[in-house]
Amino acid sequence: MITPFWTNIRYHGAVYLHSVDLWLDPRASREWAFVSHAHSDHVAAHQEAVLSPGTARLLAARDVMPRAAAVLPFGETRTVRGVACTLYPAGHILGSAQLLATVNGRSLLYSGDCKLRPNLVAEAIVIPRAEVLIMETTFGHRRYAFPPQEAVIAEMRAWVAAALADGATPVLMGYSLGKGQEILAALDGCGHEILLHASLYEMTRIAEELGATFPPYDRWAPGRGAGGVVLCPPHLRKWIRGKLPPHRAAIVSGWAFDPRARYRYGADAAFCLSDHADYQDLLTYVERVGPRRVYTVHGYAGAFAGDLRRLGYDAHALDQADQLELF
């Protein structure tokens, strides 16, 4: 019997497939890594990396491209360092990918951050089957049952219209890459002037290069904003405050599901539009992959692994152990 290539899986701040010397989304520079998407907490200047074309373009814009890159279009299989690698859309942000790694006919799927509900900007998720699944569980607690996206978007648009009717500039806060573009797409047809903070503006221009479409928008500058909608990253909420006319701010995030989210972000309102899967969608994801074993990582990894075991899965929280042996 051939020993599967994933028999020695370690966690040292990121998942490490020791048998093939492959790191999955490490934040420190490594010899060889898979980069699932271009958010800063998933990237580093690696010697060599496997990634999607969309992620490669976004990393180039952020000056963190690896020295050597195996850029794989979705669905194309390429053998890199003895591992057959196939990328599938993860639905998280533009270019976000899952990695299906196969050696000697044995398969392992790494989810990265994923979203099963339709994303207004990112490629729709495609879920392959695999023997072993390593999955991110950011919202892997049963209390996270996100409301329907259509209802959240309708509520957000109504809030924008109400703020403008009251003579206030509505400010919608979302990360410059991913969430900002989804907020912009959600405002399509609203008829308001939409202004983007510079960091969000630059990422949106690249998103258009990658095929995304948006309603008309412009770059925000101090003194602008009256009568329109302003989009900016959450970390700039205090900086931008003195540069706007009278305004109201809202945070747009999966974390807005928590009742105190608007206070934590210093916002007047909070809208639960997430680019991650909620608890039920994570369960659905596992069911569709159909793995023999599941490793969970990040977020509510321990709680979600426990729930999977109660459902009959062989599941373990990977980031709660230094090394796990399979078979």
Architecture of domain 149-271: 3-Layer(aba) Sandwich (3.40)
Q: Which of 1-5, 29-33, 200-204 has the lowest mean pLDDT?
A: 1-5
Residue-wise pLDDT for 84-94, tens only, equals: 999 999 999 99
| Mean pLDDT over the full length of the chain | 92
Q: Which of 298, 277, 252 is nearest to 125 (CA)?
A: 277
**Is residue 213 pLDDT above 60, yes or no?**
yes
Residue-wise pLDDT for 221-253, tens only, equals: 888 888 899 999 998 777 777 778 889 999 999
Residue 255 makes CB contacts below 8 A (sequence gap 6+) with 261
Give the separation between CA 70 and CA 46, rounded to whole angstroms: 12
Confirm or reject CATH 2.40.10.170 for domain 8-143+276-325, answering yes or no.
no
Equal CATH topology for 8-143+276-325 and 149-271 = no
Given phi > 0 = left and psi -120 to 50 = alpha, else beta, which region is 231?
beta
Look at residue 275 and give its three-state secondary structure: coil
Are 181 and 203 a contacting pair, CB within 8 Å?
yes
Residue-wise pLDDT for 35-66, tens only, equals: 999 998 878 889 999 999 999 999 998 888 88
* Domain ranges, ordered by start, for the chain: 8-143+276-325, 149-271
pTM over 0.85: yes
Residue-wise pLDDT for 248-276, tens only, equals: 999 999 999 999 998 998 899 999 999 99
